[in-house]
Amino acid sequence: MTQADNRRSWIASANGHPDFPLQNLPLGIFSPHGASPRGGVAIGDAIFDLKVACDAGLFSGEAADAAQSACGDSLNALFALGTSARRALRAQLQELLAEGSPAQERLEAMGQALLPSMTTCQLHLPAHVGDYTDFYVGIHHANNVGRLFRPDNPLLPNYKYVPIGYHGRASTVCVSGTPVRRPIGQTMPPGQTEPNFGPSKRLDYELELGIWIGQGNAMGDSIAIGEAQDHIAGYCLLNDWSARDVQAWEYQPLGPFLAKNFGTSVSPWVVTAEALEPFRKAQPVRPEGDPQPLPYLLDDADQATGAFDIELEVLLLTAAMREQGLAPHRLALSNTLNMYWTVAQMVAHHSVGGCKLQAGDLFGSGTLSGPQPEAFGSLLESTFGGKEALTLPNGEKRTFLEDGDEVILRARCQRDGYASIGFGECRGVVLAAR
């Protein structure tokens, strides 16, 4: 049983903060006042500057090595150091920032140089993404989408044996706040015999959990299921934008291509596995009759603690809503407990054939819909393939995204007796096609 950590911070805004209390301390890359990008830690409404802290000699031992590795413009070097270094850094950060810390007076005197306000800083992509893989582990999403095309047989036979995934485009992974331009491509409208070419008319979002890889493996080696957790650096929110009409025409026989390669948005803060420890759960029991995972995907400890209880939320803010001063409208509320496969199973399967994973590689979970319409993680599901429009509070209707729409993803972990932690936001506005 995880013991509750209810320490408070001498940074007032951290206490009771919805996302970034002392118990979270997610990592990211930021630029203070237009300076060069460097590593930082979110704490309340501020960012703890790791470069300034290193220059001031605030860390020692393994934590100092970890902090120094994060002083550049990406977290790849820190990710590569592995779990022990990350834990050492976290422990010393909590000592420095906790209420009653012996270093409090010194740190307070450093002021904005050490702890700039988050509102004055620019946030960047946390790591250089060498490769990006999108999985399909949301069982309800897989069923919902399958029913649109195969009403009598929504899941293909391999789904319950294999964590399905495809390699996406790493070059278009972008940080929250980066606009996403409507893609252009080929589509085959119903009743036609030749495709059209032009802007996608069925642009969609996908509510996903992002997984940042830490230490990798050598080409030809594999990562055992029981060791997979040690290869995960942390987690984020991920929106894998999708052009459904382009996808419908191109995906057979080799799967997604242009429909998925134009943009993938991620939240800027990397929430560590240590911060999520109190919110681990047993992997949901498979329905009766489902096959047991093959031995290389089955580990007792992973089945007992490999799932997470993370609440996931999708909101929409249209251009008209912005002009009217309206708040974003919630479209869906789901949870990571809707994952059919654990993150460790995804890592083990990805590497089992000898695929080389590297620090900074990114996985997407696939769309994490719940079983009810109010928990559907894409418009493809919520509008039943575009057949039933959603009505927004201001009277606007949507089957798919329109230019000027802003999609906002949020996530939060809550448990009685524990400080709640959040992921921040993952936002993106749709721009018109060129």
Could you give the 3-state DSSP secondary structure of residue 41? strand
**Given the DSSP bridges, would you call strands 311-317 and 406-413 parallel, antiparallel or unpaired?**
antiparallel
Separation CA 417–CA 182 (nearest Å): 44
* Contact predicate 130/329, CB 8 Å: no
Beta strands in 254-403, from DSSP E residues, in sequence order: 264-266, 280-281, 307-308, 311-317, 329-335, 362-364, 390-391, 397-398
* 141 catalytically annotated: yes
What sections of 72-169 are H helices per DSSP? 76-81, 83-97, 104-110, 139-149
Separation CA 113–CA 40 (nearest Å): 12
Pick the catalytic residue: 17, 141, 329, 349?
Answer: 141
Start-to-end C-alpha separation, the chain: 54
What DSSP designation does 254 have?
Answer: T
Separation CA 163–CA 112 (nearest Å): 46
Residue bearing tokens 């789904």: 159
What sections of 82-227 are H helices per DSSP? 83-97, 104-110, 139-149
Per-residue burial over 375-384, b = 16 or more CB atoms within 10 Å of its CB, e = otherwise: bbbbbbbbbe
Indicate which residues carry an active-site annotation: 141
